[in-house]
């Protein structure tokens, strides 16, 4: 299985073994590339987990595989869960508490995205992405709020850097992620007095992920690499390590922050898509090489 963690993670890790013993993490989009590896790191460090997804077979299979990483680990896979439906999430929380006892950590990572010029993007397509990403993030926080309050928990929203500068063909996803960042900061202020931390992680180009493979066309991948000051693509383990840091006691006074993990890509350019000539962007043609 590519881009998953194994026992070597603990051998090479800077993190203290058993760091998350007794903790339970609730993860939307947990069968996806990045959120799966985030979950794996927490499980290897002692946590139990529940991962949620739309596809039952994929979600349950991923949960079983993650559970094998640590003897005694409990990992639930709950499929047929649509984050746009608050009742789906509430039922998943109830099942988690019944089977795993409580929820300490939440990762809101369910997302949808595709490339589309604004001129070819339908209102329905825009709404679908914003509902999955932004409404889904809100619903996840809302459904888990009681558990987060009771256990002085911590929620991490998986964001992106799409909205930091104008990025062609991403008006839908960029708007949704901008909303997620705002939600992250607002919840940090509103829920902080209850002992709840709210932070975000914004991955840049991470090799071998569904997002990178789908959203960065092959004809500009080499050029996109040249835009990254560190000179390489990121690794999923680096997103996992950022997650462990934020959930660990080392970040106990960190809240309302968006931790960017992108090799400084966004600070040097608007991203790989700006290699498309403005004349191509302006046409909004579906014949563009997307």
Task: Based on the residue annotation, tell me whether 74 is a catalytic residue of this protein.
Answer: no
Dihedral of alpha carbons 267, 39, 52, 147, sign: negative
Number of other CB atoms surrounding residue 190 within 10 Å: 11
Q: How far apart are CA 3 and CA 218, in angstroms?
A: 20
DSSP 195-254: T-EEEEEEE--BTT-HHHHHHS-GGGHHHHHHT-TTSS-B-HHHHHHHHHHHHSGGGTT-
- The tokens for 186 are 């607002």
- Residue closest to 160 by CA, chosen among 144, 141, 173, 148: 173
Tracing tokens 């000179």 back to the chain, one arrives at 231
Q: How far apart are CA 78 and CA 60, in angstroms?
A: 7
Burial 29-39 (b: 16+ CB within 10 A, else e): bbbbbbbbbbb
Report whether 106 contacts 155 (CB < 8 A): yes
Report whether 27 contacts 109 (CB < 8 A): yes
In a 10 Å sphere around its CB, with 0-12 CB exposed, 13-18 middle and 19+ buried, how is residue 234 labelled?
buried
The size of the chain, in residues, is: 290
Q: How far apart are CA 200 and CA 205, in angstroms?
A: 16
Task: Based on the residue annotation, tell me whether 159 is a catalytic residue of this protein.
Answer: yes
Catalytic residue (choose from 13, 116, 171, 177): 177
Q: How far apart are CA 207 and CA 211, in angstroms?
A: 9
Helix (H) or strand (E) holding 59: helix 56-67
Catalytic residue (choose from 13, 116, 159, 198): 159
Tell me the catalytic residues. 159, 177
């Amino acid at each position: 299985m590519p881009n998953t963690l194994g026992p070597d993670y603990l051998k090479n890790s800077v993190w203290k073994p058993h760091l998350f013993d007794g903790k339970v993490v609730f993860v939307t989009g947990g069968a996806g590339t990045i959120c799966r590896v985030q979950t794996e790191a927490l499980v290897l460090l002692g946590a139990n987990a529940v991962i949620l997804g739309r596809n039952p077979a994929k979600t349950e299979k991923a949960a079983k595989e993650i559970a094998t990483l640590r003897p005694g680990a409990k990992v639930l896979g709950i499929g047929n869960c649509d984050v746009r439906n608050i009742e789906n999430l509430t039922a998943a929380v109830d099942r988690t508490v019944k089977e795993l006892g409580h929820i300490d950590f939440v990762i809101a990572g369910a997302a949808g995205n595709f490339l589309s010029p604004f001129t070819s993007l339908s209102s329905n397509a825009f709404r679908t992405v914003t509902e999955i990403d932004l409404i889904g993030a809100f619903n996840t926080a809302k459904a888990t709020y009681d558990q987060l309050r009771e256990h002085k928990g911590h929620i991490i929203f998986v964001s992106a850097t799409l909205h930091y500068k104008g990025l062609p063909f991403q008006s839908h996803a960029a708007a949704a992620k901008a909303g997620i960042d705002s939600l992250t900061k607002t919840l940090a202020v509103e829920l902080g007095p209850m002992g709840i931390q709210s932070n975000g992680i914004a991955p840049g180009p991470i090799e071998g992920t569904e997002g990178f493979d789908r959203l960065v066309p092959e004809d500009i991948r080499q050029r996109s690499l040249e835009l990254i000051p560190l000179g390489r693509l990121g690794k999923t383990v680096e997103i996992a390590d950022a997650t462990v840091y934020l959930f660990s006691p080392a970040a106990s006074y960190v809240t309302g922050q968006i931790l960017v993990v992108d090799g400084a890509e966004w600070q040097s350019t608007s991203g790989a898509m700006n290699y498309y000539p403005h004349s191509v962007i302006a046409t909004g043609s579906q014949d563009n090489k997307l």
